[in-house]
Chains A and B, each alone.
Chain A
Amino acid sequence: SQLAEENSWALSVHEGESVTVNCSYKTSITALQWYRQKSGKGPAQLILIRSNEREKRNGRLRATLDTSSQSSSLSITATRCEDTAVYFCATSSAGNKLTFGIGTRVLVRP
């Protein structure tokens, strides 16, 4: 089965700085999604990037996908305290399921 995993357990930045969360996976995929989960809430999708795309942006968020190295990154610029959350990557293949990584905790300090 495929495995998606983020490469850091936790990251801490000051408000206004940029932060990057990395993800690696082990099998071919059709798409990769980034989700954010704030404390006490369910995950919410941030970006979907398909296997034939290399970069996708959504406001202050930028996701990249490198299928040759089977890796992806999510960068957040001009971070705010409300960006504090757990960030997950999730991969989909030819089947019907998403496989989620265990998540990276991002703490944005004032």
Chain B
Amino acid sequence: DMKVTQMPRYLIKRMGENVLLECGQDMSHETMYWYRQDPGLGLQLIYISYDVDSNSEGDIPKGYRVSRKKREHFSLILDSAKTNQTSVYFCASSLGTGTDTQYFGPGTRLLVL
């Protein structure tokens, strides 16, 4: 069964703390993505990874970094979290890029106080 998993599902952090969001997929997909979703703004692309150690900035990369050391895992790191990074974060994967279907995880709700 094709699946994208995200951990944790809910997270509360204080401003200035570091945050690590983890994503896994069992489909051997080359491409993985991190998005954030805010009310009225839709899904905004933070980073895209084309394979291990091959990452590219999306539309809103400031304040975030990523790590992909294994094809099936993709991490999003917030160094010194800010209150405006409170959001729902979604990870997705696809076989390739462009028109390929993206499979999304269930999301991580992050609250930065």
Given contacts A42-B90, A102-B40, contact A96 B97 (CB under 8 A): yes
Chain B positions 31 through 61: 1 when the CB is less than 8 Å from some CB of chain A, otherwise 0: 1000000001111010010100000101100
Q: In the complex, which residues of chain B have a beta carbon less than 8 angstroms from the beta carbon of A50?
A: 99
B67 interface contact, C-beta 8 A: no
**How far apart are the CA atoms of A100 and B59 in the complex, in Å?**
12
Binding stretch for chain A, among B13-21, B73-81, B100-108: B100-108
Asked if B42 and A41 make an inter-chain contact with CB atoms under 8 angstroms apart, the answer reads: no
Q: In the complex, which residues of chain A have a beta carbon less than 8 angstroms from the beta carbon of B97?
A: 96-97
**How far apart are the CA atoms of A47 and B23 in the complex, in Å?**
25
Chain B positions 68 through 105: 1 when the CB is less than 8 Å from some CB of chain A, otherwise 0: 00000000000000000000001010000111011111
- Chain A interface, DSSP helix/strand/loop, else mixed: loop
Asked if A42 and B99 make an inter-chain contact with CB atoms under 8 angstroms apart, the answer reads: no
Interface residues on A, range: 20 to 34
**Which residues from chain A sit less than 8 Å from chain B, CB to CB?**
1, 30-31, 33, 40-45, 48, 50, 88, 92, 94-98, 100-103
What are 22 A-to-B residue pairs whose CB atoms are below 8 Å?
Answer: A1-B59, A31-B98, A33-B99, A41-B106, A41-B107, A42-B105, A42-B106, A42-B107, A43-B43, A44-B103, A50-B99, A92-B98, A92-B99, A95-B98, A96-B31, A96-B97, A97-B48, A97-B97, A98-B102, A101-B42, A102-B42, A103-B42
